[in-house]
Every structure is written in C-alpha cells, then in structure tokens.
Structure 1
Amino acid sequence: MVTTELVKGSDGNHILIIPEEFKAEFSGVDKVDICREGGCLIITPIRKSWSSLADAERADENFLNSRPDVITPNRDSE
C-alpha cells in the first residue's frame, strides 16, 4: 500500500500529494473526480472527451498547406 502526505493549506483546503509512481496517470490532468466507497476515497482523473474537441481552437487556413507528400503516387501494389 502506498501512502501520501495530506497537507492542510493556510486557507483550510487540503492538498493531496500524488506519489511519484502514479504521476504518469495524472499527467495533463487538472481536475479529478472524488467519490466515497465505504471508508475509501477514490480519486479518478478527469480527462478531456472527444466532445470537447468542438471547443478547441481551430487551425488557421494555412495549416498544412506546405506539407510534403508522404505517399508516392502510382505506387505498384504487390
């Protein structure tokens, strides 16, 4: 079982330090869901969903205009 420190901030909030071995699972995450199951708190990272892609900044009209061809035209099939 892995343990962590619970640090109480000056404003009364609590800060949970994620152990190094779990940090990769929380990479790029700035929010978590916390639920109680019996005497345990379960912390689940909230990741962006595909539906959030519609809210993302759009590429400009020149995006990929100067991209080199990566497929050879008229390639013989085997």
Structure 2
Amino acid sequence: MRTVSIFKNGNNRAIRLPRDLDFEGVSELEIIREGDSIILRPVRPTWGSFAQLEKADADFMAEREDVVSDEGRFEL
C-alpha cells in the first residue's frame, strides 16, 4: 500500500497525486467520502450535458452517400 502526505494549501488540505495514478486527459475529479475512505472519480460528460454541446451546422451531412442501398428490397 502506498501513502501520500497531506499538506495545507491556503484554507484547504491537499495531496499530490502520484504520476502513475494520474487520470489521463481528465481535468476535473469528483470526490466523495464513504466512511473513512475518500474516492476520486473522473468527471466525464453525461447525457444531460449532451444538450449543452454546440449544435452542428445546418448543412452538416446535407449531402452524403446512402449507407444502405435499395438492392434486395422489394415494394410492399
């Protein structure tokens, strides 16, 4: 088991996360306490945040190839 030191950073307590425990490509962590444990999880986009993303241009994919051909289809 590895240990890290806790230090003061202004009015907060902080730790340094060792490089090999880094969350690659993540700039924000969720932190929760469960009993005497503190759990860090990467904050990832949710479906709720999907609606807040920038919308595609009106002509996005306006001209595109058919993905499914009519070959083998029959009229009803």
The TM-score bracket by the shorter chain reads: 0.5 to 0.7
**Number of residues of Structure 1 aligned to a counterpart in Structure 2:** 71
Q: 1:50 offset after TM fit, Å?
A: 0.8
SS of match in other structure, 1:33: strand
Q: Which amino acid aligns with 2:17?
A: I
TM-score in terms of structure 1 length: 0.58
Look at both structures and tell me which one has the larger radius of gyration over its CA atoms: 2
Specify which structure has the higher proportion of helix: 1
1:14-60 Cα shifts (integer Å, max 9, x gaps): 3542554x65xx44432222122233211122222111111110000
Displacement over 6 Å in runs of 4+:
none
Is 1:51 matched up with 2:48? Answer: yes
- d(CA) in 2 for partners of 1:58, 1:50: 15
CA contact (8 A) 1:32 1:43 kept: yes
In structure 2, stretches of 5+ residues that fail to align are: none
Aligned-residue Cα RMSD (Å) equals 3.2
TM-score in terms of structure 2 length: 0.60
- d(CA) in 2 for partners of 1:16, 1:75: 62
